[in-house]
Amino acid sequence: VAGPLLRNNRQTTDSSSLEGHYVGVYFSAHWCPPCRSLTRVLVESYRIIKESGQKFEIVFVSADRSEESFKQYFSEMPWLAVPYSDEARRSRLNRLYGIQGIPTLILLDTDGRVITRQGRVEVLNDPECRLFPWHPRPVLELSESNAVQLHEGPCLVLFVDAEEEGELEPAKELIQPIAEKLVAKYKAKEEETPLLFFVAGEDDMSDSLRDYTNLPEAVPLLTILDMSARAKYVRDVEEITPAVVEQFVSDFLAEKLKPEPI
């Protein structure tokens, strides 16, 4: 992000003004309807966070097709932007963060390290910004809004017999210590965790995922899904215990499991 940044009043500031701030790097474009929808929500989130006294700034990295479109879109935003004319810096940021689609909002901590690549999901799920700066939770409850994360990399998904809110808690508590231990291990090495953790109940989202990946209807069902490799790993046992989960994760990371095609 280093270099001059624009304000929407056409004044410039230097990236050094971001020091000590949480930073959202926002990849977006006016021609993209989901981007415009997210921007409207993000403007309100930005206001809430700033008014709470948090040191927070957003840097818009445009994927607009013309400078005119960029100016029109940026006029709706209260934050900073990489100048549209600085195409090299915009391309470099896209490469650096491996941007494959927009809108994408990446949250950085005050030292510039990635907190989460799922800022879009977090903003939409937390409109009052109570969980800001949205450090990743070790275990997520599968939902329509976070299902996009299944495509981020390998994901452990524990399917359980739960239809009501709150019934997923025992499943989360079962795998949470294993997830936390893995997150801590890779954080210490300053590496991204190689596995995300989900629990899924019995609802339309879970049914769709089972259908798409051709999983058996059994519950409980312990799986690891790797969408990009179109591979799945299934542990169908009568009782899911912490030891069973830990061994399953360990075998997966050691590449001891045989994948089945999705």
Q: What is the pLDDT of residues 217-226, one digit of tens each?
A: 888 999 999 9
Residue-wise pLDDT tens digits, 131-155 = 999 988 899 999 887 888 898 899 9
The pLDDT-based confidence of 1 (bands split at 50, 70, 90) is: confident
Dihedral, CA of residue 162, residue 251, residue 117 and residue 92, to nearest 10: -160
In this structure, the strands spanning 22-28 and 56-62 are parallel
Contact 25, 1 (CB under 8 A): yes
- Written out in words, the top-level CATH class of the domain with range 4-125 is alpha beta
pTM of the prediction?
Answer: 0.74
Give DSSP secondary structure letters for 173-194.
HHHHHHHHHHHHHHHHTT---S
Residue-wise pLDDT tens digits, 61-105 = 999 999 999 999 999 999 999 999 999 999 999 999 999 899 999
Check the CA dihedral 168-45-4-26 and report its sign: positive
Amino acid letter for position 194: P
CATH node for 139-261:
3.40.30.10
In the chain, list all ranges with CATH 3.40.30.10: 4-125, 139-261
Other beta carbons within 10 angstroms of residue 202's beta carbon come to 17
In whole angstroms, give the CA distance from residue 22 to residue 219: 41
181: which residues sit within 8 A by CB, 6+ positions away?
Answer: none
